[in-house]
Amino acid sequence: MSGTFSENRIFLIGLSGSGKSTVGPLLASILHFTFCDTDSLIEKTSGQSIAEIFKDVGELTFRKHENIAMREAAEKDNIVIACGGGAPTFLANQEILKTGKVIWLDITPEEAANRLSKSLVEEPRPLLGFDPKSRLESLYTKRVGFYSESDLRIQVDKLTPEQVCGKINTELHRVMS
């Protein structure tokens, strides 16, 4: 990764359940960009699910995988990158985020827990444990300072993925013109 800033490199950050993996492909399509979900890239390159990586080698090793995935994705322009919820809290990842536009999909922990309750059986989230709402509240409190460093903040609680994309697209065009 060159470390060079690009307006055409967009990072989506936010809590689990904020819609990064859903909004990302839609936004990429609107902008005629490619899309990369760092969790999917980690799973593809490691041959393990995120839950398995956490269980087998722990969070620190997962974060190393995450940094490699972010670095690889950030080598490209015209890309939307969905980052893991904790990615902005690690210094090495913060440096990568500085190479593009960072958009925070801000969601309340309550709404995130509601959204995730439908998918936690098929897609376990290792950091959420047995009380997702309480854990999301704790994670939000710990991460909000990192998230607030973003270039753009979109409150997503009451919005569909399409509405979120519309808001992002409007804001990006406003900022770039």
pLDDT digits (tens, 9 = 90+) for 76-120: 999 999 999 999 999 999 999 999 999 999 999 999 988 887 655
Sort strands 101-106 and 9-13 into parallel, antiparallel or unpaired. parallel
Give 133's pLDDT tier (boundaries 50, 70, 90): confident
Helix axes 109-117, 132-147, angle to 10 degrees: 130
The domains located in the chain, with CATH, are: 9-176 (3.40.50.300)
As a whole number, the mean pLDDT across the chain is 90
29-61 pLDDT, tens digit each: 999 999 999 999 999 999 999 989 989 999 899
132: which 2 tokens? 């997702």
Local structure of 11: helix, strand or coil: strand
∠ CA 68-15-98, nearest 5°, is: 45
Q: Describe the strand order of the beta sheet including 34-37 as a list of residue ranges.
A: 34-37, 79-82, 9-13, 101-106, 152-155
Helix axes 50-73, 38-46, angle to 10 degrees: 110
90: which 2 tokens? 């690690």
**Element at 132 (helix H, strand E):** helix 132-147
2: which 2 tokens? 């060159």
58-77 pLDDT, tens digit each: 989 999 999 999 999 999 99
Res 1 pLDDT > 50: no
